[in-house]
Structures are given as C-alpha cells and as structure tokens.
Amino acid sequence: MPAATKKRGPRATRTTEAPMAGTGVPPINIEGTADWSSLSRMMNSKGIQFSKARTAGNSVKVFTNTPADYRQLVALLESIKRPFFTYQLKEDRMDQRVIRGLPREMSVNDIKEDLVSQGIADAEVQQMTSRTTKKPLPLFLVKTKMPEKLAEIQRLAMLTVSFERKKKSSEPSQCYRCQRISGTSRKQRCNWWDTVLDKTSHTDVN
C-alpha cells in the first residue's frame, strides 16, 4: 500500500513472513496479546473472517480469508490506532517504470498531467536522483496499475520517450517514518499511518 501526510500513529511491530500460500492474502501482525479476546469479538461483530490466528512473541498474527476481510481488519486497526504490521495486497501494488527521454528540468506535475490526459488516471510521478551526488537526473519514475496502457504512450510533452522496468535494489528498504528496516520485501507496510516501506522519500539510482 503509496501517500498524503497524516498524523503519526503508534509504532508497529515487524514481520517478514510472506503472504499465506493458497490465498495470496498476507498475514497481519497485531501488537499486543492481553486484549485479544475483546479484539476478536470486535472483529466478529464486523464480520471479519480469518482462517487462523497465532501468537508470535508479544503479538498475534492473523490470517484473514479474503482481500475484503484483510481490508476490513486493516481499517479497524487504523480506526482504533492499534499497532500492526503487514504486507500490501498484491492487487494493490503499483507497477513502476522509468521514463527516459525527458529533460531533467521537466516538472513532475506537467508529466503527470500529460499521462493523465493520455489515460493513465492513477499516475504517480517522481524525479530520480543520483545516490552519490543527490542531484536530479533526466529520469522519472512513474507508478501505475495500468502498465499495459502506459506501454502505448510514445510521447510526453511532444518528446519521444521510452519506459523501462525499474531495476530492483539489493539494499534493504526502510520506512522513513517509523525507521524500521525491511529484511525481505519492498512491499511491506507499517501502520505509521499507512506508510508503504520504501528506501527513501525520493527515488535514488546508482
């Protein structure tokens, strides 16, 4: 789960367990065990279904049945400001492509407006920077759930452009709100008010 600035919430615990096999729905690691009975009753009253729950240290790991149950439980935990940690649903992840062919001075807002006008309604655009010098590069990162439509675009701002898949980094990702380090995935999510873990607040390349 990219994001608008929100107030800080309680710190969340960390989990590195992959989504549950067979369902594709990741577990939700809920901090604290003392009030599990009341919390489970609250979940039941809201119709949140889960296949199993087990303790893991001072937390309870809940495996919801469906994406709808997952979203309901996340919404419930956020509403009561309960610390938790989980992964994003696969269907909520956005495809990342690097745009080549634009000048470094190009405004990200202008690029986004052009993409939206060409049918990429959910486009999110960031300018990439050098990891060593921190200076902006003539490369831009676009995130979208419409990669097929993005592949049809040949021009932005009347300039010929190309789109490439963003290369994965070998470095661990970090949430710059809660400062926790991810050991396995760039798609982890803590509830430091709906933060999606990423290495930096902008996008670096070597």
List strand residue ranges (DSSP E) for 131-190, in order: 136-144, 155-156, 159-160, 162-165, 188-190
- Kindly give the parts of the chain with pLDDT less than 50: 1-20, 174-179, 181, 183-187, 192-204, 206
What are the residues facing 26 on neighbouring strands? none
Q: Which domain holds residue 155?
A: 94-165
Does residue 10 fall inside a structural domain?
A: no
Does residue 201 fall inside a structural domain?
A: no
User: Are residues 159 and 98 part of one domain?
Assistant: yes
Does residue 11 fall inside a structural domain?
A: no
Residue 167: what pLDDT? 78
33 contacts 99 by C-beta, under 8 angstroms? no
The CATH number for 134's domain is 3.30.70.330
Q: How many domains does the chain have?
A: 2
How far are the Cα atoms of 21, 80, 114, 157 from residue 2, in angstroms, in the given order? 25, 22, 20, 25
Residue 16: what pLDDT? 37
How far are the Cα atoms of 40, 70, 162 from residue 47, in angstroms, in the given order? 11, 11, 47
Residue 169: what pLDDT? 63
User: Are residues 181 and 83 part of one domain?
Assistant: yes
Residue 91: what pLDDT? 81
